[in-house]
């Protein structure tokens, strides 16, 4: 929230300017003046096509408050300026002049109709609609922009963050005053039922834990529902506040589209706005109800006098209920949206007043506790003097410490800040004044409130910095041992790619969103979108294939065999082997080649990768997209449903056919008969040559154009795979569909079948699909370039790493002496003593000879030996006092447990010789 202040001028219009909710609030409450950017007058031209006809409607009295009226005028001003088409400067200028008046007869403004408003605005400024006329553009903005709703929405949006922090602060004081069992705050409703934590509910619980830390009041009595529901009620409010902020931010700066004939289409329905704010109103109602009941408990504890004042002065549940019922009724009726938002604004004011009562009663209760404590201390002191008691026993000191009122580190500050605002004593007769003062203080326009909010947030954030840091879900850190495995795998993968003549390529981690959209079918929902940066909507790359296709098209390349190893991003639900950030290793061949030549090589590369990574047992499921399309056509599936049915078929390796059939029939509109036909065909899988022979004898496949072409391709491919002696790794599987939209020919997927690394069932490692790919002849042409056929494979390296790590873990259980070297250091230069210069000179000579070396300077011999053993460094070059005086070094072979003195000048040659012998 921006700082409250006066005499500030907020300019509307101008290049790149946007209107914020806080700007609307500041102008509406008179905290700031408004001005129109100088560029606007030149953009808004005088119109020659003026209309003067009146509708004959009677003016409707304005039901809005002054602040709400001013907010609506701010929104209308902005809508007129950003729409521009067929808008005169006259109307924005009149609105600006009206807003900058300290007082004006706002009740005369008629928001019920477009012409009624213009007429009332002109009359307010000494003119009439008959004199000034109007343009169709102005009329359309007034009719279509929803400026009245957006104006009040902006007021609610600007107030919602402060209300959240105020409600938290007040509830914290009540927890202290009621001596609540604060442990229940972190328990109830934190689990959403699927293993994930509700973010805002958990956030409230963490904040309360921080601010109550150190209190000796909370936790003394049994928790009650009024305390335990705080996390849920306040968390739900935070979530609702975020939702209204998102929708309001868009609405504030959306222009009205005016066509050439001067008319506009509707800019959107009011229903989404009403639905979002109805949810917000319910969360405000819950916030107020929860606060009222806690205030009631505090009032009962304070005695009859305070209780009577609370009952007569505080808005009650009936008042809250009447308001929320009216809001619900208005939401269900069309044409009552203005009043709907007006009543929500009233509800927020009512809840703010209830929070003021709760705060006052909590402070009053805590003051009474502290006063009672002081009086008891005086009584004890007086008794001690009378009985000549000089020294207390340890037990008495302990009891006194336990009875002392100690607030939490955060709540003690909150209480003092609110008490300083009141500037009055603890006289119960002043409670009504306290409430009035705090109710005004809780309004965002109060400059002191911003200091209070900032202080509360600082206390939470300062503690946040002391907590253990976390990483986002679906991401991971990797230890030195894991990185050693990864680097070894990357080296193998790179060598296989280069062996086939591939050249390296790198592309940005994010692309323009338009580059990625429309390429992934139903998986498009998993694309990670980024915030608008300078007018460009970007997304993190979903894979490496589409960026490669964009690169080829962008540079007009006709042939390219490339490889790329890089991270990709999926907005997916994290699980074992499924992350949001992970590496892919891609190999692609683009260009015109012999039929099925590139397809064969890509599959061959995949078998080499998995064999050389020593993955264990795997199979490569293979199919053809044209064969799949032909099969769907044979079964009676309409062409427009091919892709969506493919997405269903692609799930057959994870779900039974009955579930897939239910999806195809109930969700995607196929008949049960068609679904059964598909089921009969997709269950076919087996040896490529045998299943190929079976399909060639089926007239349905031979007579269908698509499937006939596919069978010819596959026949060539299987012959090539047989020649290269890798066909035994391939399974012809008609259920393989690959849901991505861009595939046009051969498609394949490598599945890890599991490796048994122990004697029990739990010792079998399974992760499923580890690589996939296929032909995509049309993808490059989708970027407006010439069609360049291409085929590629992508290795899901994270699952490969998972398998390799699990295999190593099982091996270590059998032989604990095995370990992964996290470093490739060949020599440890060990200087016994503190001569750093000698260490630097010696290790630099080794580095100069391209020897992998590190150094250690320490007086204790055991430190050097431990380092060499821990890192499994094969050689040590040792220099102690004896070696130094003889101008020699001692070379120790850690594996052979042998050592030898050599001259200082020949150390590099001797180390190289020994390393060469070790490598044989």
In tens, the pLDDT along 331-378 reads: 887 667 888 889 999 999 999 999 999 999 999 899 888 888 777 666
Confidence of residue 815 (pLDDT cuts 50, 70, 90): low
Which stretch of 175-184, 392-401, 471-480 has the lowest confidence by average pLDDT? 392-401
DSSP state of 264: B
Q: What pLDDT sits at residue 377?
A: 62
Q: What CA–CA distances, in Å, run from 410 to 168, 240, 462, 807? A: 11, 25, 11, 50
* Percentage with pLDDT > 90 across the chain: 42
Among 774, 498, 500, smallest CA distance to 646 is for: 774
| pLDDT of 69 above 80 | yes
Helices 705-723 and 688-696: angle between axes, nearest 10 degrees: 150
pLDDT digits (tens, 9 = 90+) for 70-107: 999 999 998 888 887 788 888 889 999 999 988 888 88
C-alpha distances (whole Å) from 176 to each of 218, 226, 395, 411, 426 are: 6, 13, 26, 8, 18
* Separation CA 236–CA 215 (nearest Å): 26
Burial class (CB in 10 A: 0-12, 13-18, 19+), 73: buried
Q: Given strand 888-893, what is the order of strands in its sheet?
A: 853-858, 827-832, 875-879, 888-893, 898-903
Is 60 exceeded by the pLDDT of residue 399? no
Task: Give CA separation, 842 vs 60, 160, 163, 388, 860, in Å.
Answer: 93, 66, 67, 79, 19
The mean per-residue pLDDT over the stretch 688-716 comes to: 91
Nearest to 205 by CA among 235, 175, 225, 226: 235
Going by C-alpha positions, the residue among 114, 127, 133 that lies closest to residue 59 is 114
Instruction: Give the predicted TM-score (pTM) of the model.
Output: 0.55
pLDDT at 386 (0 to 100)? 53
Give the bridge partners for 588, in sequence order: 562, 792
Based on the number of CB atoms within 10 Å of its own CB, is 261 exposed (0-12), middle (13-18) or buried (19 or more)? exposed
**Is residue 263 pLDDT above 70, yes or no?**
no
pLDDT band of residue 145 (cuts 50, 70, 90) is confident
Rounded to an integer, the average pLDDT of 116-122 is 89
What count of other Cβ atoms lies within 10 Å of the Cβ of residue 805?
A: 17
760: exposed, middle or buried (C-beta count within 10 Å: 0-12, 13-18, 19+)? exposed
One DSSP character per residue, 281-344 reads HHHHHHHHHHHHHHHHHHHHHH-HHHHHHHHHHS--HHHHHHHHHHHHHHHHSTT-HHHHHHHH
* Per-residue pLDDT tens over the stretch 524-551: 888 888 877 677 889 999 999 999 999 9
pLDDT-based confidence at 798, cuts 50/70/90?
Answer: confident
**Whether pLDDT at 763 is above 60:** no
Sheet holding 581-590, edge to edge: 503-504, 560-569, 581-590, 790-795, 768-775, 746-752, 618-624, 730-733, 685-686
Under a CB-based contact definition with an 8 Å cutoff, are residues 832 and 879 in contact? yes
Per-residue pLDDT tens digits for 274-298: 888 999 999 999 999 999 999 999 9
Cα end-to-end span (Å), the chain: 69
- Output helix, strand, coil percentages for the chain, rounded to the nearest 5: 55, 15, 30
pLDDT digits (tens, 9 = 90+) for 566-620: 999 998 877 766 789 999 999 999 999 999 999 999 999 999 999 998 878 899 9
**Mean pLDDT across the chain, nearest whole number?**
84
Taking every pair of Cα atoms in the chain, the longest distance, rounded to a whole number of angstroms, is 115
Q: Name the band, by pLDDT with cuts 50, 70 and 90, for residue 760.
A: very low
Look at 11-15, 252-256, 259-263, 827-831 and tell me which has the smallest mean pLDDT: 259-263
Chain length of the chain = 920
Report the pLDDT value the prediction gives residue 187, as an integer from 0 to 100. 41
Examine the pLDDT at 142 and tell me if it is beyond 60.
yes
- Please report the pLDDT score of residue 390 as a whole number: 47
How far apart are alpha carbons 731 and 691 in whole angstroms? Answer: 9
State the pLDDT confidence band at 268, using cuts at 50, 70 and 90. very low
Please report which residue ranges of 178-220 form alpha helices under DSSP H. Answer: 199-212
By CB neighbour count within 10 A (0-12 exposed, 13-18 middle, 19+ buried), where does 666 fall? exposed
Torsion angle, alpha carbons of 334, 340, 342, 348, to 10: -170
Residues 255, 258, 259: CA angle, nearest 5 degrees: 150
Residue 607 is predicted with a pLDDT of 96
pLDDT at residue 426, as a whole number: 52
Query: For position 59, what pLDDT does the model report?
Result: 62
Take residue 455 and report the two structure tokens written for it.
Answer: 């202080």
Cβ contact 424:433 at 8 Å: yes
Q: How many helices and strands (H and E) does the chain possess?
A: 35, 20
CA–CA separation, 723 and 721 (whole Å): 5
pLDDT computed for residue 37 by the predictor: 85
For residue 375, which of 405, 409, 417 has the smallest C-alpha distance?
405
The pLDDT of residue 388 is 54
Task: Decide: 200 and 238 in contact? Cβ < 8 Å.
Answer: yes
DSSP-derived 3-state class of residue 376: helix
- Say whether pLDDT at 395 is over 70: no
Tell me what pLDDT residue 197 has. 40
What mean pLDDT comes out for the span 46-66?
72
| Cα angle, residue 216 at apex, residues 210 and 220 outer, rounded to 5° | 105
Mean pLDDT of 655-671: 88
The answer on pLDDT for 189 being more than 50 is: no
pLDDT band at 651 (very low <50, low <70, confident <90, very high): confident
* Distance from chain centroid for Cα 867: 42
In this predicted structure, which of 475-479, 649-653, 695-699 has the lowest mean pLDDT?
Answer: 649-653
Residue in 475, 471, 476 with CA at minimum distance from that of residue 571: 475
Which of residues 128 and 521 earns the better pLDDT score? 128
Closest CA to 350 of 293, 297, 285: 285
Q: How far is CA 617 from the centre of its chain?
A: 37
Q: What percent of the chain has pLDDT over 70?
A: 85
Greater confidence, 191 or 3? 3
Q: How many CB atoms lie within 10 A of CB 359?
A: 31
With 60 as the cut, is the pLDDT of residue 401 above it?
no
Query: Residue 849 carries which DSSP code?
Result: T
Contact present, 766 and 730 (Cβ < 8 Å): no
Cα distances from 617 to residues 754, 768, 807, in angstroms, run: 6, 11, 13
What are the φ/ψ torsions at residue 629 (nearest 5 degrees)? -65, -40
Neighbours of 260 (CB within 10 A): 7
């Amino acid at each position: 929230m921006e700082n409250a202040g006066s005499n500030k001028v907020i300019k509307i219009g101008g290049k790149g300017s946007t209107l914020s909710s806080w700007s609307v609030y500041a102008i509406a409450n008179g905290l700031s003046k408004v001005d129109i950017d100088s560029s606007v007058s030149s953009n808004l031209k005088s119109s020659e096509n003026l209309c003067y006809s009146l509708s004959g409607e009677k003016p409707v009295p304005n039901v809005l408050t002054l602040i709400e009226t001013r907010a609506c005028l701010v929104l209308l001003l902005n809508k007129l300026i950003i729409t521009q088409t067929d808008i005169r400067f006259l109307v924005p200028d009149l609105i600006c002049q009206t807003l900058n008046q300290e007082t004006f007869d706002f009740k005369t403004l008629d928001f019920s109709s477009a012409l009624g408003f213009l007429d009332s605005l002109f009359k307010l400024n000494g003119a009439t609609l008959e004199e000034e006329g109007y343009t169709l553009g102005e009329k359309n903005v007034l009719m279509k922009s929803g400026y009245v709703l957006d104006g009040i929405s902006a007021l609610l949006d600007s107030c919602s963050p402060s209300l959240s922090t105020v409600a938290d602060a007040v509830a914290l004081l009540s927890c202290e005053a009621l001596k609540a069992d604060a442990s229940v705050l972190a328990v109830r409703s934190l689990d959403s039922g699927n293993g994930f934590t509700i973010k805002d509910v958990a956030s409230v619980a963490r904040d309360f834990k921080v601010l109550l830390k150190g209190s000796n009041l909370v936790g003394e009595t049994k928790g009650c529902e009024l305390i335990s529901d705080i996390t849920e009620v306040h968390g739900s409010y935070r979530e609702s506040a975020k939702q209204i902020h998102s929708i309001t931010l868009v609405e504030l700066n959306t222009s009205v589209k005016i066509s050439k004939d001067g008319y506009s289409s509707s800019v959107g329905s009011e229903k989404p706005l009403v639905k979002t704010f109805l949810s917000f109103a319910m969360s405000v109602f819950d916030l107020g109800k929860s606060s009222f009941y806690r205030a009631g408990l505090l009032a009962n504890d304070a005695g009859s006098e305070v209780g009577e004042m609370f009952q007569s002065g505080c808005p009650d549940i009936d008042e809250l209920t009447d308001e929320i019922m009216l809001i619900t009724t208005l939401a269900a009726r069309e044409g009552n949206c203005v009043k709907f938002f007006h009543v929500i604004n009233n509800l927020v004011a009512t809840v703010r007043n209830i929070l003021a009562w709760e705060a006052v009663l909590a402070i009053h209760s805590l003051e009474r506790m502290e006063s009672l404590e002081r009086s008891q201390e005086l009584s004890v002191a007086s008794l001690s003097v009378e009985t000549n008691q000089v020294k207390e026993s340890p037990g008495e000191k302990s009891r006194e410490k336990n009875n002392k009122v100690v607030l939490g580190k955060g709540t003690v500050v909150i209480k003092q800040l609110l008490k300083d605002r009141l500037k009055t004593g603890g006289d119960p007769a002043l409670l009504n004044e306290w409430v009035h003062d705090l109710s005004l203080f809780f309004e965002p326009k109060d400059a002191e409130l911003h200091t209070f909010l900032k202080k509360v947030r600082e206390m939470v954030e300062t503690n946040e910095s002391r907590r253990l840091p976390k990483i986002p879900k679906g991401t991971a850190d990797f230890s030195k041992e894991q990185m050693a495995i990864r680097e070894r795998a990357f080296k193998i993968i790179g060598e296989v790619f280069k062996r086939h003549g591939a050249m390296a390529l790198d592309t940005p981690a994010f692309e323009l969103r338009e580059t990625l959209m429309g390429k992934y079918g139903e998986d498009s929902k998993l694309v990670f979108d980024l915030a608008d940066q300078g007018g460009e909507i970007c997304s993190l790359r979903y894979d490496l294939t589409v960026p490669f296709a964009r690169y080829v098209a962008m540079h007009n390349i006709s042939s390219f065999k490339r490889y790329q190893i890089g991270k990709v991003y999926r907005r997916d639900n994290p699980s074992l082997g499924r992350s949001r950030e992970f590496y892919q290793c891609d190999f692609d061949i683009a260009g015109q080649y012999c039929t099925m030549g590139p397809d064969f090589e890509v599959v061959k590369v995949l078998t080499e990768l998995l064999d050389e990574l020593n993955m264990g047992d795997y199979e490569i499921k293979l199919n053809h997209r044209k064969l799949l399309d032909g099969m769907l056509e044979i079964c009676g599936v309409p062409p427009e449903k091919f892709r969506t049915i493919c997405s269903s078929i692609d799930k057959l390796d994870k779900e039974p056919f009955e579930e897939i059939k239910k999806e195809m029939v109930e969700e995607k509109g196929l008949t049960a008969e068609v679904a059964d036909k598909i089921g009969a065909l997709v269950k076919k899988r087996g040896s490529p040559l045998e299943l190929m022979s079976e399909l060639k004898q089926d007239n349905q496949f031979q007579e269908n154009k698509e499937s006939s072409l596919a069978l010819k391709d596959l026949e060539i491919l299987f012959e090539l795979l047989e020649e290269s002696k890798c066909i035994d790794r391939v399974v012809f599987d008609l259920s393989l569909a690959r849901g991505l939209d861009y595939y046009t020919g051969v498609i394949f997927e490598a599945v890890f079948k599991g490796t048994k690394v122990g004697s029990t069932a739990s010792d079998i490692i399974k992760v499923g699909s580890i690589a996939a790919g296929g032909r995509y002849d049309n993808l490059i042409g989708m970027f407006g370039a010439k069609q360049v056929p291409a085929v590629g494979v992508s290795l899901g390296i994270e699952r490969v790493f998972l398998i390799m790590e699990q295999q190593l873990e099982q091996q270590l259980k059998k032989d604990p002496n095995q370990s992964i070297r996290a470093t490739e250091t060949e020599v440890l230069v060990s200087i016994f003593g503190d001569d750093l210069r000698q260490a630097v000179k010696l290790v630099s000579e080794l580095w100069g000879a391209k020897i992998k070396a590190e150094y250690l300077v320490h007086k204790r011999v055991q430190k050097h030996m431990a380092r060499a053993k821990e890192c499994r460094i094969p050689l040590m070059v040792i220099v102690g006092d004896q070696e130094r005086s003889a101008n020699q070094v001692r070379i120790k072979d850690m594996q052979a447990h042998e050592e030898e003195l050599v001259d200082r000048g020949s150390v590099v040659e001797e180390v190289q010789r020994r390393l060469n012998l070790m490598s044989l």
